């Protein structure tokens, strides 16, 4: 199932990535090649087959509701590119 | 005495018998790194100060007459996607360059309890994406058997083979532990999915990522599993099952063992010279009393495509965390938060990673989810069913670990042909099964690995089969020559 350059632009936006206009054509071609690679799977008869999201039985991980020490503010902020007033600083959110 | 040439269990004996000290051993390995890493480029970072402090602690215990754990004082390298508190976990990406982690991985905690010595972090494909290290932010790593060749998707095994570590803690999502081990003439084991907690392992494809070990022999592989397996309540996919003593499986005996040989792993897409070496190993097993059974796994041809859709879908979701806000690379010129995130990701991720993240986002998006992601999860079920059927006729499966030898960096290859090289290893990830690679021969001076895949939670049988072969052969004893020009 091929996609257009317009759709690739949308996919990039959903992925929080940008494809430069100058590379759009070649990128779209590349993307469509990957889709046709994956499309080979359409040949497989999967009627009545259950999907496998995980290979083992998964149960919720509960623990006793007792307070435990967490990550300190200092540690949490130690890798932040920008910090202000004990918080992560980012450029303005509303455009 | 070149201490870096020994296995962990040999060195443990030497430590206990006071022939050597852990500090001497650690210094010897760092001297080796100093000597050869310029050629191999296996390391991204070193932590000598912490390593020597860990070694001193072990020496003090020995001097005080205390018992030490099997991995105590033994120098280990970590793949650079597994956390060591206070050290950088770069995932070989500009995105995570310089980011110091603030907690230990569960496996790291387990190895601290053993008093292992942490040498540093090994080079890898960016975020484990790709089956060579040529997209690493820190430059490609080189194979110690021939420096012109790739190490596969991670440099941990190259480090071990070059004597720059005694063993390595690594991860395996598509074979990126077993393939480098085969390329470097090492043993590599990926336990059953859920045996080792993924806490502190940078997530790539969460339903397949699994921590394992690269070692010089099967005994060391079993020893490491004893240390790192076990339930961890902080990982919901950590399986609450008993951890046996894996070293109990180290018995040289395959009489009556039914070894399945799936014909799809011996097709035209596998190098004939590799097939010849693996077929010799099959003959040897037969001579040792094993029963060889031919089996068929018809969905193998779809394995890499299935992986590609599932893994990239999972990565698309997992990698949302790299947003430039809390850690990692940030574009400092952006005027708004959304522009900052997009530009940070544009500049922080390599090209292959970006392409795959977009593909992953696409297959999870409305209108495509059913046709790609759900279908791939269904084909994944069919691949699991292939294993289930095969294991009705045999106890273990034997295949080549890789369809080709470690290739020269200048080999021209179509991107899809390169993806397909993972077909021999990726099936065990899709099915969550334990698998081990052991050296089984040489072709043109390069090591060849054979893979044994076991039933779920049955590491014991593959360890036993691998150990039996190893004890009857000398392939694992040959050292890499560090030859050839980069």
Average pLDDT of the segment spanning B371-389: 98
3 state SS of A46? coil
pLDDT in tens, B330-361: 999 999 999 999 999 999 999 999 999 999 99
Contact (CB<8Å) B100/A78: yes
**The pLDDT value given to residue A58:** 78
Contacts of B55 (CB under 8 A, 6+ apart): B21, B22, B23, B25, B26, B73, B117
Q: What CATH number has the domain bearing residue B457?
A: 3.90.1300.10
**The pLDDT value given to residue A1:** 81
CB atoms within 10 A of CB B4: 23
Average pLDDT, chain B: 97
The answer to whether position B238 is within a domain reads yes
Q: Tell me how many domains chain B contains.
A: 1
Query: In chain A, what's the furthest Cα-to-Cα distance?
Result: 58
Of the candidates B195, B207, B153, the one whose C-alpha atom is nearest the C-alpha of residue B178 is B153
Cα→Cα distances B123→B15, B46, B138, Å: 29, 11, 7
Q: Please, which pLDDT band fits residue A62 given cuts at 50, 70 and 90?
A: confident
Which of these ranges, A16-30, B424-438, B452-466, has the smallest mean pLDDT?
A: A16-30
Q: Which residue range forms the structural domain that includes residue B70?
A: 3-258+436-477
- Is it the case that residue B483 has pLDDT exceeding 80? no
Nearest to B305 among A40, A61, A93 (CB): A40
pLDDT in tens, B67-123: 999 999 999 999 999 999 999 999 999 999 999 999 999 999 999 999 999 999 999
Residues paired with residue B331 on neighbouring β-strands, in sequence order: none
- Is it the case that residue B410 has pLDDT exceeding 90? no
Q: Which residues of A touch B371 (CB under 8 A)?
A: 1, 42
User: A73 to chain B, minimum CA–CA distance in Å?
Assistant: 11
User: Distance (Å, rounded) from C-alpha B136 to C-alpha B180?
Assistant: 15
Chains A, B: CB pairs < 8 Å: 160
Q: Please, which pLDDT band fits residue A63 given cuts at 50, 70 and 90?
A: confident
Pair of tokens at residue B46: 């070193």
Q: Is A59 on the interface with B (CB under 8 A)?
A: yes
Nearest to B432 among A30, A56, A63 (CB): A56
User: Distance (Å, rounded) from C-alpha A59 to C-alpha A41?
Assistant: 31
The answer to whether position B383 is within a domain reads no
Site from A3, A41, A78 to mutate, B interface, most B CB atoms within 10 angstroms: A41
- For chain A, which residues make up each domain, given as ranges? 5-41
Q: Is A68 on the interface with B (CB under 8 A)?
A: no
The answer to whether position B86 is within a domain reads yes
Q: Please, which pLDDT band fits residue A48 given cuts at 50, 70 and 90?
A: very high
- Sign, CA torsion A67/A69/A71/A72: positive
Chain-centroid distance, C-alpha B242:
23
Average pLDDT of the segment spanning B312-320: 97
Average pLDDT of the segment spanning A14-37: 95
- Is it the case that residue B1 has pLDDT exceeding 70? no
Contact (CB<8Å) A79/B306: no
Please report, rounded to a whole number, the percentage of residues in chain B having pLDDT higher than 90: 98
**The pLDDT value given to residue A94:** 83
Structural contact between residues B181 and B157, judged by C-beta atoms closer than 8 angstroms: yes
Nearest to B327 among A41, A59, A79 (CB): A79
* Per-position b or e across B208-228, b if 16+ CB within 10 A of its CB: bbbbbbbbbbbbbbbbbbbbb
Q: Please, which pLDDT band fits residue A57 given cuts at 50, 70 and 90?
A: confident
The answer to whether position B270 is within a domain reads no
Site from B86, B378, B423 to mutate, A interface, most A CB atoms within 10 angstroms: B378
Structural contact between residues B108 and B85, judged by C-beta atoms closer than 8 angstroms: yes
Contact (CB<8Å) B340/A8: no
The answer to whether position B346 is within a domain reads no
The answer to whether position B300 is within a domain reads no
DSSP H/E element including B429: helix B423-431
Nearest to B340 among A40, A78, A91 (CB): A91
Nearest to A51 among B233, B358, B381 (CB): B381
User: B2 to chain A, minimum CA–CA distance in Å?
Assistant: 40
Report the residue count for chain B: 486
């Amino acid at each position: 199932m091929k996609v257009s350059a317009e759709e690739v632009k949308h996919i990039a936006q959903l992925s929080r990535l940008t494809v430069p206009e100058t590379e759009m054509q070649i990128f779209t071609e590349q993307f469509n090649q990957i889709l046709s690679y994956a499309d080979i799977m359409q040949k497989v008869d999967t009627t009545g087959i259950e999907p496998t999201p995980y290979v083992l039985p998964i149960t919720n991980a509960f623990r006793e509701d007792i307070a435990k020490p967490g990550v300190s503010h200092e540690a949490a902020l130690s890798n932040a590119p920008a910090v202000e007033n004990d918080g992560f600083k980012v450029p303005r959110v509303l455009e | 005495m070149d201490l870096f040439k020994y296995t962990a269990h040999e060195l443990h004996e030497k430590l206990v018998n006071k022939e050597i000290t852990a500090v001497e051993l650690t210094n010897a390995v760092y001297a080796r790194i100093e000597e050869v890493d310029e050629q191999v480029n296996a390391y991204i970072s070193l932590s000598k100060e912490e390593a020597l402090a860990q070694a001193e602690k072990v020496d003090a215990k020995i001097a005080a007459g205390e018992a030490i754990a099997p991995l105590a004082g033994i120098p280990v390298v970590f793949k650079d996607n597994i956390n060591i508190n206070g050290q950088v976990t770069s995932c070989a990406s500009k995105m995570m360059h310089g980011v110091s982690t603030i907690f230990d991985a569960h496996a790291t905690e387990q190895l601290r309890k053993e008093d292992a010595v942490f040498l540093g972090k090994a080079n890898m494909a960016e975020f484990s994406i790709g089956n060579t290290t040529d997209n690493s932010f820190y430059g490609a790593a080189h194979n110690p058997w021939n420096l012109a060749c790739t190490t596969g998707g991670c440099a941990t095994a190259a480090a071990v083979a070059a004597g720059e570590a005694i063993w390595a803690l690594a991860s395996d999502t598509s074979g990126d532990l077993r393939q480098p081990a085969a390329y470097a003439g090492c043993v590599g084991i990926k336990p059953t999915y859920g045996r080792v907690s993924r806490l502190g392992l940078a997530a790539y494809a969460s339903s397949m990522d699994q921590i394992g070990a690269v070692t010089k022999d099967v005994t060391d592989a079993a020893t490491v599993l004893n240390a790192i397996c076990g339930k961890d309540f902080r990982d919901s996919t950590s399986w609450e099952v008993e951890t046996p003593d894996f070293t109990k499986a180290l018995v040289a005996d395959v009489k009556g063992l039914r070894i399945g040989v799936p014909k799809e792993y011996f097709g035209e897409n596998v190098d004939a010279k590799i097939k010849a070496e693996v077929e010799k190993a099959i003959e040897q097993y037969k001579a040792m009393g094993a029963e060889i059974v031919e089996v068929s796994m018809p969905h193998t041809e779809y394995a890499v495509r299935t992986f590609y859709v599932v893994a990239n879908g999972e990565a698309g979701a997992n990698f949302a965390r790299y947003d430039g806000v809390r850690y990692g690379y940030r574009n400092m010129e952006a005027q708004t938060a959304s522009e900052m995130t997009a530009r940070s990701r544009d500049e922080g991720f390599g090209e292959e990673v970006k392409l795959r993240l977009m593909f992953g986002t696409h297959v999870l998006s409305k209108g495509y989810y059913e046709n790609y992601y759900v279908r791939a999860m269904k084909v994944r079920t069919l691949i699991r069913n292939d294993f289930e059927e095969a294991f009705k006729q045999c106890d273990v499966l034997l295949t080549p670990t890789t369809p080709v030898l470690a290739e020269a960096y200048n080999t021209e290859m179509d991107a899809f042909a390169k993806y397909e090289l993972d077909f021999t290893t990726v099936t065990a990830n899709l099915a969550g099964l334990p698998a081990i690679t052991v050296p089984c021969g040489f072709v043109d001076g390069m090591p060849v690995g054979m893979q044994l895949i076991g039933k779920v939670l049955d590491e014991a049988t593959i360890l036993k089969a691998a150990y039996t072969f190893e004890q009857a052969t000398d392939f694992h004893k040959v050292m890499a020559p560090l030859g050839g020009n980069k």
